[in-house]
Structure 1
Amino acid sequence: MAPLGGVTVQDHVALAEIELCGELIIAASAAEDRLSLESIDQVLRVGETRTEPGDG
């Protein structure tokens, strides 16, 4: 249900979490065995440097 007045509110953190969960589900379904911790970290991009809006 859309808010009154046609205003759309987006939670960018929640959207990013949903995207990462989707990527993890895809990786897990494509794997022949359980994902290793290293594979999970790679899918979730653990350790990557992130730039915040306004940086750079």
Structure 2
Amino acid sequence: MIDPFDVTLEDGDLMGEVELTTNLIVAASESDGPLSRDEIDRLLGVVPIPRQR
């Protein structure tokens, strides 16, 4: 028998956002000063786009 009240309360996208935010908070709390843009990008997994010449 299927239980209509047995639902998954996990949202994969939300969990990913929580993890990224947590990583930023931990890094900021361990830093002696503001995080650089490069440090933030690294923590968030941002890959820079090469500039076109």
- Do they fold alike, i.e. is TM over 0.5? yes
Report the identity percentage.
39
**Secondary structure class of the residue paired with 2:5:** helix
What residue is the counterpart of 1:36 in the other structure?
36
Q: Which one has a bigger Cα radius of gyration?
A: 2
Unaligned runs of 5+ in 1: 48-56
Unaligned runs of 5+ in 2: 48-53
CA distance in 2, matches of 1:43, 1:31: 13
Q: CA RMSD in A?
A: 1.8
CA distance in 2, matches of 1:22, 1:9: 20
Amino acid at match of 2:41: D
Q: Deviation digits for residues 10-31 of structure 1, max 9, x if unmatched?
A: 2111110000000000000000
**Length, aligned pairs only:** 45
With the length of structure 1 as denominator, give the TM-score of the two structures: 0.70
